[in-house]
Amino acid sequence: MRPEYCLAGSERKKRMLAYGWGILVTLAVMALALLMMAFSSKYGPAFVRAILLLACILTVQAVFYHFEGLGQGLSNVLGVASAGIMFVALRRARPAVRLRLESERNGNYKYTILSTKNVTLGRVVASLWPDQRMLYLTQIELENDHRKKGYGTATLEALTQLHHRSIVPVQETGSSYGFWMKMRSRSGDNFKVEEQISTTDWSILIRN
């Protein structure tokens, strides 16, 4: 057998092996994503969608790698893209929370914010009265040990899932400006934060 044929056969086997490993890795990532969707409530749905997108990119990357020239170049580009997606997903990943209703009176709701392990994280007070179109937040407070860990964002998502309303903060204070500014920048499918209402306007609203 001529040496060039042996070399071509060896290269073909290497490419097929790389292609096969790419498919196996992709299937493993997809299985992990499905398990997270089915059994885990630690991270929000955005993180799971990012993992599924990553699995799709890895599949296409494995297919492109099988081809010479432009195909392998595209494979390298997709590899960098998949790493970027995972980085963003991990940065934006946030834990899930439960809201335990403590009291409800005339459209005013008091909730305790709990982790998935029933650890008390904080409390939130919201009102649908008197304007049923919005959900007014008069208080959202997290314990010091649980701040800046994504629980505030998860709480807004949980409130939106419960009440299906846009969220209006009542009188943002100096310590909360940064939080509400960040929440408005993240407004989208999971929740929407409107501009604040002052305590004066709030008082007028509930008197009318």
Query: Domain boundary at 69, 92, 115, which?
Result: 92
Q: How far is CA 94 from the centre of its chain?
A: 6
Looking at the fold, whether 122 and 202 belong to one and the same domain comes out as yes
pTM: 0.60
Residue 124 contacts residue 139 (beta carbons within 8 Å): yes
Separation CA 130–CA 16 (nearest Å): 66
pLDDT of residue 71: 56
Query: Domain boundary at 60, 92, 124, which?
Result: 92
H-type alpha helices, the chain = 3-39, 45-65, 70-92, 151-163, 177-185, 199-207
Query: Could you list the residue range(s) of the whole structural domain that residue 76 is in?
Result: 3-92
Average pLDDT over residues 172-176: 83
Looking at the fold, whether 102 and 86 belong to one and the same domain comes out as no
Other Cβ atoms within 10 Å of 196 Cβ, number: 19
At 85, phi and psi to the nearest 5? -65, -45
Q: Which residue has the higher pLDDT, 39 or 171?
A: 171
Residue carrying structure tokens 């790698």: 65
From the list 155, 164, 153, 158, the residue with the least C-alpha distance to 186 is: 153
Reported confidence tier of residue 160, pLDDT bands at 50, 70, 90: very high
At 189, phi and psi to the nearest 5? -70, -35
Query: How is residue 138 written in tokens?
Result: 């008069």
pLDDT of residue 98: 92
Query: Domain boundary at 73, 92, 111, which?
Result: 92
Looking at the fold, whether 165 and 200 belong to one and the same domain comes out as yes
Average pLDDT over residues 3-11: 54
Looking at the fold, whether 104 and 196 belong to one and the same domain comes out as yes
Task: Report DSSP letters for 60-78, one per residue.
Answer: HHHHHHTSSTHHHHHHHHH
pLDDT of residue 188: 79
Question: How many domains does the structure of the chain reveal?
Answer: 2
pLDDT of residue 207: 76
Other Cβ atoms within 10 Å of 92 Cβ, number: 15
Average pLDDT over residues 79-103: 72
Q: Give the strand pairing for 166-169 and 97-105.
A: unpaired
64-87: pLDDT as tens digits: 665 655 555 666 666 666 666 666
pLDDT of residue 45: 55
